[in-house]
Structure 1
Amino acid sequence: MAGPRRLLLLLLLPLLVLLGAHPPQCGSAEEGTKVSLELYYESLCPYCSRFIVNRLAGIFEDGLIDAVHLRLVPYGNAHVASNSKISCQVAVALYYESLCPYSARFVVNHLAKVFADGLREVVDLTLVPYGNARIHPGGEISCQHGPYECLLNTVEACAIDAWPDLDVHFSFIYCVEDLVVKRQYKDWESCFEKLGLDAKPVTECYKSEHGHKLELKYANQTDALEPPHRYVPWVVVDGQPLLEDYENFEAYICKAYKGTPPKACEGLERLQMALETAAEARNGVSYNSGVSKLATAEDEGGEHKVGEY
């Protein structure tokens, strides 16, 4: 008489994943009557792991494997990023402009947390330094907070291009935005020495046509947003714009992540569910028009073209 586990598996087998008997074609009659069983899973999913260890392994112990065509597909809820690499991380994008005070404070006081609390490992972070800028006929770019913002937007775009490693270019952008918060942004070049970075690749980039092309690329990415951005900072997590709730982006990351939650996620999912019911916006934004008081008199109203400094 079959054991309880064998009977249970025989009952559940047709219900698992993509099942069906192969019609007899080539091979013996015994092979033609095997049941097809496919398991789609991901390696760090606790439910997947427990199923494999506590349930699926049993068919090898009691001989049921002889009646099964077993196929394992280790991919699960991963996604293919724009660079064609498979990623299990949560996609996070920040659309911002360098001299927006709200953008600067978000980078310094909130976004930087993911590098300290362990969320960095589960996040695929993209920075897009363009914001509410405008492109004019001939390709000239004007920025909401004046030409110095256009300069720093390009500098930060060049940093991303020169140092593709997120930890490196974010440390530089953090340094610049920290100076923005302190209203000392014209000392931005001091960040090279502070971080021990070679200034040459960024300097050559922002003074060249290459820097301008990078900003045009970020302009296209910003203009392609759906729905369109209405202000900055504009934070998108797993394809979802967070609107005015952007400061709580970590809770959205934890909700979207499909693997074992990092320690930093403890309590954040409950916070996120509570925040979703809130009707009032709490966080500052810089709308897609007007000039901030942060721009100095010499900065306001000007247009900037790469190479003109």
Structure 2
Amino acid sequence: MTGKDAVVLAKWAVALFMALAMISVNMVDSYPRPQAYPGKSEVSVERNESAPLLLEVYYESLCPDSVDFLLRQLLPVTRKIGNIVRVELIPFGKATWHRLGAEYIFRCHHGPPECKGNRIQTCGYHFLKQQNETAALEFVYCTMQAYDPSTVAERCAKKSGFSGKALLDCTRNSAGSHLQHKMALKTEALKPKLTWVPWLVIDGVHNDHIQRLGTSNLLHLLCSMYKGHLPNIDKELQNDNDIIANLLHLAPAMRLVLYKNNSHTKSCKCARISKVPATGTAPATNSKMLTSGKYMLVLTSLTIVFACASSKLHHKKNHHSHRRIRDAAPVLLEVYYETLCPDSRAFITNQLYPTLQQINSIMNVSMIPYGKATQKQDGDNWVFTCQHGPRECVGNVIQSCALKYLPLNNTDPATKISRVFTLINCMEAAKDPSSAGPDCASQQSIDFAPIDKCSKSSEGNQLEHTMGVRTESLDPKLTFVPWMVINGIHTASMQSRALYDLLGLICDTYTGPKPAACNE
């Protein structure tokens, strides 16, 4: 097919799509949008200057979802487009407090270590922000990368230009207590009330759209809400967008936002395309963008089609051109399981591990060993009751410790798979997973001593408690084990397919170039 044929085909496709879009315009109009600017016109006109968005993040220092959001979403966003958003961090979450004399006593969602972590981050963030907002954020990011923020607090403070001694003094005296109390009051004053952690507020507004999109795709949310010029436009992507614009010259004036889903990488950027001219010529980079009332369309699927078409046409003109569409973010798979559950064991050994062996490069896997267990607090510790008895509780704690002491970047050179998955697979294939740890570790040349020590201490107890909290926070609630969540979403069809065709499901979900195993 020649380039001319492709253009003709594209024009007919646009005309057909527009006709269908007119029929479903009411559905488009009903799509939930952020209400951050109530009362203002939906028509967006670019301005030379625009005030940055204010993003408030209410979180907990040891909450897995908070850690994931700050490190996977907020960190790359603030490093790349920090000039269009101001961030306010409020570490408190679902904690409670009461006054005792001149001091405040706090009880935190994930126990005393979290209270300590909250205070460390409150003190460091408060004092550093007065001098440099970027340094304040980097301090929090640094402490969030450790299981226990207190173990790295001094090092992170010095790295950010803050005295480690001053930080520790703040956390130990009334200054830290009063600062943390301010975080509590600010959290308790929220309207609507906080029901989830992390909780996001943008320009004073919280709604379901902001919460859901912000926690899964913060870059896209901020770019769509910001009214000024977007920074860091990807020039290569803009060139491809211009080709696409030429193919779309039959369409009415519209605003087309192309989002490059790299929020989990260091290359996350925003890109906008200008109004499509009627003449078919490529739009100027600095042209004003228009919207056409209710006919503004989010052409996600169509964009993908024409991006592919334009890439092929461009490649015909220049056989030595580089591939412009970069690899997409890996598929995020969360597996909520039980170490002695027959279905969990079958899934790990027959689906998960074989899939990792073939397409590990396009997956990020998170294991949560807890399932249908229950927990209750007894002093500073937690008492667990597991579906398959006490031995399962032992196995769950061991694997929770393994997930901490064998980080994902500790890979087997031969298989390129993280050693923790190899260990878990070996344990689940054994007759008794709860006692197979030492032998499996020995086979893989893994030092089992730190894992064993952790599993028999309060550290392992707290790790398993964190797994429990994460499981109990699922929405929808877990009703079957193993329970799968992909890119933050769980559906019945996804669950069913993952149990018998995980490789196919991951391949179909991944939006980048497919590995060879996906085509076999």
What is the TM-score when the length of structure 2 is the normalising length? 0.38
Answer yes or no: is 1:54 the counterpart of 2:313: yes
Answer yes or no: is 1:19 the counterpart of 2:274: yes
Matches of 2:288 and 2:433, distance apart in 1: 66
CA contact under 8 A between 1:14 and 1:20: conserved in structure 2? no
Q: What does residue range 154-303 of structure 1 map to in structure 2 within 5 Å?
A: 154-165=397-408, 167-179=418-430, 182-183=431-432, 185-238=434-487, 239-241=489-491, 242-245=494-497, 246-266=499-519
CA contact under 8 A between 2:476 and 2:490: conserved in structure 1? no
Q: 2:385 matched to which residue of 1? A: 142
Which amino acid in the other structure matches residue 307 of structure 2?
C
Task: Give the deviation of 1:266 after TM superposition.
Answer: 2.7
Q: 2:361 matched to which residue of 1? A: 121
Give CA deviations for 1:82-123 in whole Å, capped at 9, x if unaligned. Answer: xxxxxx111111110101111111111111112222x21111
CA contact under 8 A between 2:392 and 2:434: conserved in structure 1? no
What is the TM-score when the length of structure 1 is the normalising length? 0.61
CA contact under 8 A between 1:133 and 1:143: conserved in structure 2? yes
Matches of 1:262 and 1:92, distance apart in 2: 17
Q: Which runs of 5+ in 1 are unaligned?
A: 22-31, 59-72, 79-87, 268-309
Task: Give the deviation of 1:235 after TM superposition.
Answer: 1.7
Matches of 2:285 and 2:471, distance apart in 1: 56
Which amino acid in the other structure matches residue 243 of structure 1?
Q
Matches of 1:195 and 1:203, distance apart in 2: 16
Give CA deviations for 1:199-228 in whole Å, capped at 9, x if unaligned. Answer: 122012111111111111111111111111
CA contact under 8 A between 1:129 and 1:156: conserved in structure 2? yes
Matches of 2:364 and 2:335, distance apart in 1: 11
Q: How many residues align?
A: 222
CA contact under 8 A between 1:96 and 1:233: conserved in structure 2? yes
Provide the secondary structure at the position in 2 that maps to 1:151.
helix
Which amino acid in the other structure matches residue 471 of structure 2?
T
Matches of 1:52 and 1:74, distance apart in 2: 8
Give CA deviations for 1:55-108 in whole Å, capped at 9, x if unaligned. Answer: 5998xxxxxxxxxxxxxx9889x5xxxxxxxxx111111110101111111111
Matches of 1:89 and 1:113, distance apart in 2: 17
Q: 2:156 matched to which residue of 1? A: none
Quote the sequence identity (%).
Answer: 26
Which amino acid in the other structure matches residue 513 of structure 2?
T
Answer yes or no: is 1:110 the counterpart of 2:361: no
CA contact under 8 A between 1:95 and 1:128: conserved in structure 2? yes
Instruction: State the structure with bigger RCO (CA 8 A, min sep 6), 1 or 2.
Output: 1
The root-mean-square deviation of aligned C-alpha atoms, in Å, is 3.7
Matches of 1:222 and 1:9, distance apart in 2: 45
Q: 2:95 matched to which residue of 1? A: none
Which amino acid in the other structure matches residue 387 of structure 2?
Q
Matches of 2:343 and 2:247, distance apart in 1: 58
Larger % of helix: which?
2
CA contact under 8 A between 2:395 and 2:433: conserved in structure 1? no
Q: Which runs of 5+ in 2 are unaligned?
A: 8-241, 257-272, 277-283, 290-298, 318-323, 409-416
CA contact under 8 A between 2:274 and 2:285: conserved in structure 1? no
Give CA deviations for 1:249-291 in whole Å, capped at 9, x if unaligned. Answer: 2222122111122222237xxxxxxxxxxxxxxxxxxxxxxxx
Matches of 1:10 and 1:154, distance apart in 2: 58
CA contact under 8 A between 1:222 and 1:229: conserved in structure 2? yes
